[in-house]
Structures are given as C-alpha cells and as structure tokens.
A = this chain, B = another copy of it.
Amino acid sequence: MGQVTCQISVSLDGYVAGPNQSLENPIGEGGMRLHEWVFPTAGWRSMQGLDGGEATPDSEVVTEMMSGKGAYIMGRNMFGGGPGPWDESWTGWWGDNPPYHVPVFVLTSHPREPLTRQGGTTFTFVTDGIDSALAQARAAAGEGDVAVAGGASTVRQFLRAGHLDELYLHLVPILLGSGERLLEDVGDPRFELLKVVDSPTVTHLKYRVVR
C-alpha cells in the first residue's frame, strides 16, 4: 500500500497562506510568494507541456512531488467555486486538463455528481468526512501514494487524525506576518527527517510522521 503524503510550501514564520483569503485571492495577500520557486523550474514547465526552465534541485523536487501519486484529496476551498451549494458551471481552477491525471477526492458538505476531465483526472465529491475520503482514495490509488493536496485545514485534519505518513515542507525564507498557519492544533506527532534538499531559494525538508 502506498503512503499518505503531503507536500506544501510554508513561510519561515509558519504560514501556508497570507491574510485576507478571498475568491480573488485564494492564497491570501502575499501567499503567492510561497509558490514562486515552482514556476521557473524545468519540472514544472514540463508538466505544463512547455520546454525550457531551470534544471535545479528545486526542479527535481517538483518532479518528485508529482510522481507516484495514485490519488489526491483536497478541501473544498482548494477546488474552489465558493461556499454553499455547488454552481455546477464551476469545474475547478485547472481548465479542461488538470495537472493531477488520477482520481481526486474533494471534501465538501454539499453533494455533487463526479466530474470527469481530460488526461485521467476525475473529481469525486465526498460528503462524509476524511476517513471516507481516505478509504476511497486508497482504493483508487492501488499501490500509489495518496497525496493530501491542501489547503491548510485539510492537512491539519489529516495530521490530527494520525493519517499522514510523510510531510514534505518547502521552507521559503520569507515572513508573511499573518495568515493561515499549518502546524497549529495538530496534536503532538513526532517527525523523523527523511531528507533535506538544499537549494539557494527554498529548503526542502521531508519528514516521516511517527504516530
């Protein structure tokens, strides 16, 4: 059976999103600064079908973090479309060909029929909680890993429940000052460092979560 993993970019002061998150600004003010390291990499460009980009350690991390995934789980806000009952014209942020290419399970309080997109991505909407989402994702993933894609509150729920096997932090040397913290109210798991990838821009820290 695969691992239950999470990879997420975090500021030096512990935030995974800036303040004042909104539909227009889903990662909050300044939050996009956490993700700027990804876009110049060859690994990211390749996944978008683009040539070029930088073949850096960051690029290898991007390629690594998108490989071996059999299914994803994400919170409602990460799928988007606003709160409340679904406007079914909303099909996610990612266009016709989302970057997942495997089944994605979306945690929500509001039922919705599954969505099939191009390139192997399906979105299944789960209304009965994280245990159910995990069971469905494991079944769909087979031998692959189940990646908890975010956002912060979803990752916190999985950590708190003891469901996470690996946490891969991309530590970005900026301060956001306020916003949404990742490692708050998650109990007291132990972390064992699996590896460090040293890069001039971002330090990648892969931990095993010990229960």
A184 sits at the interface (CB 8 A): yes
Count chain A residues whose beta carbon lies closer than 8 angstroms to a beta carbon of B.
Answer: 26
The answer to whether B203 touches A174, judged by C-beta atoms less than 8 angstroms apart, is: no
A188 sits at the interface (CB 8 A): yes
Cα A173 to Cα B171 with chains together (Å): 13
A191 contacts across to B, CB distance below 8 A:
12, 173-174
A38 sits at the interface (CB 8 A): no
- Interface segment out of the listed A60-68, A87-95, A126-134, A192-200: A192-200
The answer to whether B207 touches A196, judged by C-beta atoms less than 8 angstroms apart, is: no
Residues of A within 8 A of B (CB): 12-14, 171, 173-175, 177, 181, 183-184, 186-193, 196, 198, 200-201, 203, 205, 207
